[in-house]
A and B are shown apart, each in its own frame.
Chain A
Amino acid sequence: MGRDLTLLGLTLALVLLLAGAVIFPHWLTFLVMMSLARGLVVLGIVLQMRAGLVSFGQGLYYCIGGYTAAMLGSLYGVREVAVLIAAAILVSAAVAFVLGTLLSRYRDIFFAMLSMAFSMILYGLLVKSPALGSTDGFNVPAMTFFGWKPAVQSTGVYVITCFLAYMIALAYHYYQKSPAGYLAGAIRENEIRVEYLGSSAQWLLHAKYVMASVISAVGGLLAALATGHVDPEMAYWTTSGEFVFIAILGGTGHVAAPFLGSTLFSLVRTYAYQFFPYTWQMILGLVLLLIIVFLPRGLWSLIQRLYSEKPRAADR
């Protein structure tokens, strides 16, 4: 393996995707945009999964990101994406810090259920707020992107999505190689030993929870900009469940896995929609079931297998 194939690959992907703004058909740029946005949310889940925690409430931050953007946009007249990004990060970090003090004490199913409960509380609050459109939600107005006002709004969202996803993916990649990143695996496997090595598993999980939340909130913000609409469904447990599913589908082995997983998920779903309008749920479930059965470690294991077997194959 080369020194850092991931850096190279991510940069290459960024260049390709940016070129795609011109080359791709529009529906595909939209699909990529949504997949990247959702991929970020899934990245947040994967970050916690590596430490052995499965969040069934990541929709909470998806929703917080989306609503922060939409509320600032339509209620307070903010028209600059940079402000929205900063706000989404601050709000989600603050919420995650507070909730994290409680959640970092829990593990396994207790963590999963508690995280889901918080997400459902937000859902309930939003449904009971007619001022925010209740279940219908409301729309996000057009934005400028660091001063740039594109002719078509979605071009701007696409470019900003690619850049944000790239930057977060890079940061995540370096984080995984750092001591803190390795400690995630260590906590998952043997929390007692981590304590005896002098690190606090609880503090680390708290920090990871905040990080995951911020990443997911950025994903929610981008999704809200891309669709131009937010509704409480973003915090509903089925949305969170979908994210967990994509995380398992993609695998947890690499930063690209969640993005790959969410792209495949979107593709399968949209074609199932198109070709099987009456049974798309079943087709979707079947395809995903097959992937889980034959690739239990996720899609990424396919690519991993491709490359990790190289030296072995060359030997023979």
Chain B
Amino acid sequence: MKIIKRTGWFAGVILVIAGLLCAPSAWAAENGKLRLGIVTFLSGPASGPFGVPAENAAKLTIAALNAGKMPAPYAMKGINGVEIETVVVDEAGGATKQVEEFRNLVERQKVDAVIGYISSGDCLAVAPVAEELKALTVFFDCGTPRIFEDASYKYVFRTGPIATTDNIGAARYILDTSPNTKSFAGINQNYAWGQDSWNDFKAAMQVLLPQAQVKTEQFPKLGAGQYGAELSAILVENPDIVHSSFWGGDMEALVLQGAARGLFDKRSVVLTCGETGMFRLAEQMPEGAIIGGRGPYGVFAPDNPLNAWFRKEYQAAYNTPPTYPSYKIVQAILGLKNAAEKAGSAPGKLPDTDAIIAKFRDRASRHRADWWRWASARPIRRCRASPMAPSIARARTRHRRSSTSGVIRRNA
């Protein structure tokens, strides 16, 4: 008897587990809402500067959309009149983990679309899976050009510019503002982002300013925090320009340590991701530093009603002005909304994925004169050494005091 009881107990446990496994798919039953997966860093070093500001902006935007309170032309409720519900997932844990969770989002949670991914490695790994699952996926931040350069995808979009444009833009800015540059150096984190950024910048400089020499290239490891040795190496070489794609805490540490060592005194320092730290480091950010915002975001965004609305709401909700990750995720959401609403379904009904995709591509190729020029995905070719349009450079980097001092003072 005991044996039977035991086996029965065991079978019961297995049944309960099986039930648990099947349950979530039932929850994703049709409730008439659009289910949107949002994937961004909620933990780890990238959560502070990128993940959480992006998530906050997404929450704020989706709430406003569901309430129909966005300024025109985005005033229609939700997306095409359909309310949006979100499933938020942490991007931490590496590419393998993200592939697993992406599948769970699409197949278990049955989301209609996914917006997310800051890490380039995650984007690279997720893209083919999205294609296999035929899941509409919008990357909002990752910067590697390898996604659309190495393969072509139907279901995958990116609404932000690639890192290559940042760095070529930075080089062009230097050509415009200091054409007599004789030498330059780089300090970048020793991982894909840092290596790619430096290579793009170096290649662009060699074409645009062939007389400028590379003095030294420093690659401290990601999250090192102490840059004394690297700073010494750079200061000894005394270059005219220092390039860095540092982000988050590393970037802030570099600014503080560099300022103390006189890194910013006689030369221009280009911080291609400097924008996320400009409010936090308002007091420490040195005069004349060249700051990038990974596109026309944050303080570089054009002055129009939508931007004014967004800045005001974000400041009110989170007590700090929005930085570029916040802008970029809003851009992805609005890009998706725009494409879906143009796909020709009656309001209150969702168009099918293929129709959205067709319009998304259309939006991308026609460059609609929206106030955010980049509000659509475009497969950007890697253009290491070819000169970019001057408008990109202007959008990318700017002397801080000339355009942003007002903003900084508000916070400080």
Asked if A133 is at the interface (CB within 8 A of a chain B CB), the reply is yes
Given A28-B21, A130-B192, A273-B89, does the pair A136, B128 have CB atoms closer than 8 Å? no
Asked if A144 is at the interface (CB within 8 A of a chain B CB), the reply is no
Min C-beta distance of B104 to chain A, whole Å: 5
- Chief secondary structure at chain B's binding surface: helix
Q: Which of B64-72, B117-125, B345-353 contacts A (4 or more CB under 8 A)?
A: B117-125
Asked if B144 is at the interface (CB within 8 A of a chain A CB), the reply is yes
Question: A273 contacts which chain B residues (CB < 8 A)?
Answer: 89-90, 101, 104
Question: A76 contacts which chain B residues (CB < 8 A)?
Answer: none
| Other-chain residue from B43, B100, B109 in contact with A281 (beta carbon distance below 8 A) | B43
A26 and B103: CB pair below 8 A?
yes
A314 to B7, CA, bound (A): 14
User: Which of chain B's residues has its CB closest to A154's CB?
Assistant: B132
Min C-beta distance of A69 to chain B, whole Å: 14
A136 and B108: CB pair below 8 A?
no
Asked if A202 is at the interface (CB within 8 A of a chain B CB), the reply is no
Interface residues in A213-231 by Cβ distance below 8 A to B read: 223, 227-229, 231
Min C-beta distance of A87 to chain B, whole Å: 21
B21 and A134: CB pair below 8 A?
no
User: Which of chain A's residues has its CB closest to B126's CB?
Assistant: A229
Given A273-B89, A277-B88, A277-B89, does the pair A136, B121 have CB atoms closer than 8 Å? yes
| Other-chain residue from A25, A137, A271, A274 in contact with B95 (beta carbon distance below 8 A) | A137
Min C-beta distance of A45 to chain B, whole Å: 18
Given A130-B196, A231-B121, A277-B89, does the pair A153, B132 have CB atoms closer than 8 Å? yes
Question: B195 contacts which chain A residues (CB < 8 A)?
Answer: 130, 134
| Other-chain residue from B94, B100, B192 in contact with A31 (beta carbon distance below 8 A) | B100
B6 and A306: CB pair below 8 A?
yes
Min C-beta distance of B283 to chain A, whole Å: 31
Asked if A72 is at the interface (CB within 8 A of a chain B CB), the reply is no
Given A136-B192, A310-B6, A313-B2, does the pair A274, B24 have CB atoms closer than 8 Å? yes
A136 and B132: CB pair below 8 A?
no
Asked if A165 is at the interface (CB within 8 A of a chain B CB), the reply is no
Question: B94 contacts which chain A residues (CB < 8 A)?
Answer: 231, 233, 239
1/0 contact string of A76-111 vs chain B (CB within 8 Å):
000000000000000000000000000000000000
B104 and A137: CB pair below 8 A?
no
Asked if B33 is at the interface (CB within 8 A of a chain A CB), the reply is no
Asked if B263 is at the interface (CB within 8 A of a chain A CB), the reply is no
A274 and B104: CB pair below 8 A?
yes
Asked if B107 is at the interface (CB within 8 A of a chain A CB), the reply is yes
A122 to B370, CA, bound (A): 47
A227 and B3: CB pair below 8 A?
no
Min C-beta distance of A61 to chain B, whole Å: 16
User: Which of chain B's residues has its CB closest to A232's CB?
Assistant: B191
B107 and A133: CB pair below 8 A?
no
B90 and A27: CB pair below 8 A?
no
A216 to B83, CA, bound (A): 47
Question: B99 contacts which chain A residues (CB < 8 A)?
Answer: 227-229
User: Which of chain B's residues has its CB closest to A224's CB?
Assistant: B96
Asked if A75 is at the interface (CB within 8 A of a chain B CB), the reply is no
Asked if A145 is at the interface (CB within 8 A of a chain B CB), the reply is no
A30 to B101, CA, bound (A): 10
Interface residues in A111-134 by Cβ distance below 8 A to B read: 127-128, 130, 133-134
Asked if B174 is at the interface (CB within 8 A of a chain A CB), the reply is no
Given A133-B124, A134-B191, A277-B90, does the pair A25, B25 have CB atoms closer than 8 Å? yes
A228 and B90: CB pair below 8 A?
no
Asked if A22 is at the interface (CB within 8 A of a chain B CB), the reply is no
Nearest 4 A/B pairs, CB to CB? A229-B125, A134-B192, A135-B191, A27-B107
Q: Which residues of chain B have a CB within 8 Å of any CB of chain A?
A: 2-3, 6, 10, 20-22, 24-25, 42-43, 87-90, 94-97, 99-101, 103-104, 106-109, 120-121, 124-125, 128-129, 132-133, 144, 146, 150-151, 190-193, 195-196, 199, 222
